[in-house]
Amino acid sequence: MEATLFSDVREASYLSTKKTHRYRPIIRYMYEQKRIFNTEVLPIEIFNYLIQHPRFDDYTMEELIADLNALVKSNNLTEIPDNTEVEGIEDFKRNRRLFVLTDFTFEIEKMLTSFEKNFHRIGTSLEPTLPEKLYNSLHRLREFSRRKNMDKEDLVFLNEVWEDMFDKFFKLDSNASMYLSHINAEKLEVIMAQPDAFIVFKDEFVAYLTNFILELKKNAPYIEQLLRDIEGSGFAILKKYLIQFQRSIPKTEVIPDSDFEMAYDEVWLGVTHWFISRDEKESKVRQLERRTNSSIVRVTKLAQQAAERQFYTRNRKTDYLHLAKMVHQQNNLEEAGELFSFLFGFDNIKHFKTNGKETDSAKYTIWDCQPEEVDITYRAKQPTDKQTKRSLKVPAMGEEALQRKRMLEAQRDYEEKEIKKLLDCNYLALRELGTVEPFIRNAILTWINKGMLSKMQDSNICEGRTEHGVKFKLAQVSDDIIELHSPDGILTLPDYEFTFSEVK
């Protein structure tokens, strides 16, 4: 483990400080200028760029100089003094100082811009032909692994094939991972806000992703077989010739063969793990197939939910205005009534069921059927005297059951009376209640539940009706947690208040 892993990265400190809102625009401007080869930038150029944004209306040149000095101390910028003739000391301090973005910070900004671009789109495309191209590269590598001798031209061609194979594999791995990570992330929620766009996106996504997986499934077994043919002695031959090619390239420093060997081993290990399952570890291609299938199912369900939500929340005002215009254009009330019946049907119409059509021909209608007589005689059996007496017989009730029934009726009357007292108060604050009986606590919980079911969005007030028909409003008056005492325990709940109004 290298010692640099235990030290701070000073160059990244500008991303999370109290002045990040000023440092990042400065660094981004320096990055954009370096990209167009304007590496040395004057403070006045930076200042003119920043003040174009409303957030820098009160920004001064003195604050800019202080920010630039801080970025120089954190190794984000390098200062290059310009010693040409100047008119005064202030001109030298402000405008004759040149600043250059360091290479380390340039790579940080390059990485950030790449992440920002990928974050604001659904991801890169999954090229369907990548698996086939990777198969072709591996097929050529297998041919090289069976050679016993190679000349200089063969070594160059072998390295080109190896680089092409790695390029195709890297693109396949990065694009697939990036695409699926975006599909599984919150980006779908953004598309869900536009149901029409989401449904179109769903169709394209399912078709495209299915094509990619079909192509991958078609080539994956052959790629796996090629990798098994090459690994072992075949890969050892390839690695030997690849290292021989690297030694033939002039370099400023001597790189041991062990470093080349480790680099090639890591690449080969990554490729084989992608397509070949080892012990209990599933290969990446199997994981990709499984995740893709689940993503297709998830996107389809989200699209269905979006379509259903659009249907239920659709504004029918335009439709009804069009129908009203059609009715209004009729000559008289009778024609308007006929049109209305066609549009909305008849109220409480009775239907008669027959034995059906005599044929399934499409040209044959119900009007071509022969009339059919239906017997509507009531065929229910008349009850006998014995059945009538049995139904009228009331079982005798014992003294104990009768006493229990009276107690239950008395308890029910008592509960109704106590609950009615609460409803007659028109106002009920739970924090002001003392010890209440369990049936009152249960009634209060039922009212809270009914109110929560009808809670309006972005509102702390809920409305509902009790089982007695009394309309109420439920409001949480504070963030405190109160206690509602009963003989059988203590219930903790938010600080609610009820306001009762008219009876339905």
- Check residue 392 and report its DSSP letter: H
| Domain spans, the chain | 3-116, 126-310, 320-345, 417-503
Fold of the domain built from segment(s) 3-116: Arc Repressor Mutant, subunit A (1.10.10)
Angle between helix 195-230 and 284-312 (nearest 10): 170
Give tens-digit pLDDT for 418-429. 888 888 877 788
Q: What is the predicted pLDDT for the residue at 189?
A: 60
Residue 183 scores a pLDDT above 70: no
301: confidence class by pLDDT, cuts 50, 70, 90 = confident
With contact defined as beta carbons under 8 Å apart, do 153 and 98 qualify? no
223 or 128: whose pLDDT is higher?
223
Which residue, chain included where needed, has tokens 């203590």? Answer: 490
Rounded mean pLDDT, 130-155: 88
CA distance 208 to 357: 47
5 or 155: whose pLDDT is higher?
155
Residue 217 scores a pLDDT above 50: yes
User: Reduced to 3 states, what is the DSSP secondary structure of residue 480?
Assistant: strand
Residue 122 scores a pLDDT above 50: no
Closest by CA position to 204, among listed 293, 125, 118, 139: 125
Taking CA atoms, 441 is separated from 432, 464, 483, 492, in Å, by: 14, 17, 11, 11
Q: What is the predicted pLDDT for the residue at 504?
A: 44
Residue 28 scores a pLDDT above 90: yes
User: Reduced to 3 states, what is the DSSP secondary structure of residue 78?
Assistant: strand
CA distance 224 to 154: 25
Give tens-digit pLDDT for 41-97. 999 999 999 999 988 989 999 999 999 999 999 999 999 876 655 555 555 555 568
CA distance 451 to 443: 12
Which pTM value belongs to this model?
Answer: 0.44
Q: What is the predicted pLDDT for the residue at 83?
A: 60
Measured over the CA atoms of residue 395, residue 400, residue 404 and residue 410, the dihedral's sign is positive
Q: What is the predicted pLDDT for the residue at 364?
A: 66
Angle value at C-alpha 324, between 319 and 328, nearest 5 degrees: 150
3-state helix/strand/coil string of 96-150: CEEEEECHHHHHHHHHHHHHHHHHCCCCCCCCCCHHHHHHHHHHHHHHHHCCCCC
With contact defined as beta carbons under 8 Å apart, do 472 and 466 qualify? yes
Give tens-digit pLDDT for 244-286. 888 888 877 778 888 888 999 998 988 888 888 877 778 888 8
CA distance 473 to 112: 51
Give tens-digit pLDDT for 465-481. 888 888 888 888 888 88
109: confidence class by pLDDT, cuts 50, 70, 90 = very high
With contact defined as beta carbons under 8 Å apart, do 496 and 448 qualify? yes
Give tens-digit pLDDT for 412-457. 888 888 888 888 877 788 888 888 888 888 888 888 888 887 766 5
Read off the tokens for 168: 């195709």
Give tens-digit pLDDT for 314-364. 666 777 888 888 888 888 888 888 888 877 776 666 666 666 666 666 666
